[in-house]
Amino acid sequence: MAKRGYHHGNLRQALVETALKLIEEKGPTGFTLSEAAKQTGVTPAAVYRHFRGREDLIAEAARQGYTIFADLIEYAYDKEQPSALASFEATGRAYLAFARKFPGHYVAMFESGISHNHSPELAAAAARALGVLERAAADLSAHIPPDRRPPASMVSAHIWALSHGVVELFSRGSPGTKSPFAPEDLLESGIGIYLRGLGLIKPDE
């Protein structure tokens, strides 16, 4: 087998790409570091020059995922400006799109059990993604007097949880959870009900 990592000159990234494929096929705990090395075309000893173990490898996949995720939701947010509501809803749709397009990254980020605090780099990437959602929530509630304004961190956390629930139940092929509605429609209607309940948008919007 050709040593693809060395051949391409970037063994570290080659290992991450192999790990992402294995995560999609077997889950984050379904493969060993030796298996990742073998599929990349190098010896296990070569892997340890870049990663201390499988957790470090998965954490790097998660870090890259959060970076892509933050880029996507930031683009979605900016594209719909200056409408605070449209920008906020766009970040939710971007969440669904990310989960579909980058399943290996998604699992590494949310289903591997790797803490955001595994490394400063991973923590910073995750914080940047959450920061976009918080900024969108803050924009949406800016017209409300401060003493009646819900915390942007709470609103963004709720929408993150709602988006994650729609992805897990209706967008990733979970058995027995088919819905007659498209995941995007479920998320948009859920966001609308939630925001109206908080008084952040008018009933006719």
State pLDDT tens for residues 176-204: 456 678 888 889 999 999 998 888 876 55
The angle at the Cα of 62, spanning 127 to 117, to the nearest 5 degrees, equals: 50
For residues 82-96, average pLDDT: 89
pLDDT grade for 1, boundaries at 50, 70 and 90: very low
Distance CA 157, CA 159 (A): 6
pLDDT at 144: 86
DSSP code, position 135: H
pLDDT at 106 > cutoff 80: yes
Q: Output the pTM of the full model.
A: 0.85
Which domains are assigned to the chain? Answer: 1-51 (1.10.10), 59-197 (1.10.357.10)
